[in-house]
Amino acid sequence: MRYRFNVFGRIIAIERVGDVWAAHLTGNEGKRRPAGLAIPSELPRAELAQYLYDIYHESATPTNGDVFEIDPSQDA
């Protein structure tokens, strides 16, 4: 299953591939490219949003100041 997060205005898709997490940046046109982000394989799914916040907190702006999961029903 793929999880999508709004990370201070950028969309990052994360999915479990075997025993590891794979992260991709998602563009407005739906294309994906590797995010270059290493996520510890032992990190539980429930802690992904907090991990992304911790890694990218310096990208916060007054209008994009949080990390949140995008509702799967909005996934195209």
The burial class, CB within 10 Å (0-12 / 13-18 / 19+), for 19 is exposed
End-to-end alpha carbon distance in the chain: 13
| Listed residue (55, 56, 50) closest to 68, CA to CA | 50
pLDDT score, position 1: 86
- pLDDT tens digits, 23-74: 999 988 879 999 999 999 999 999 999 999 999 999 999 999 999 999 876 6
Amino acid at position 58, single letter: E
Contact between 46 and 32 under an 8 Å Cβ cutoff? The reply is no
Q: Does residue 6 sit in helix, strand or coil? A: strand
Q: Does residue 39 sit in helix, strand or coil? A: coil
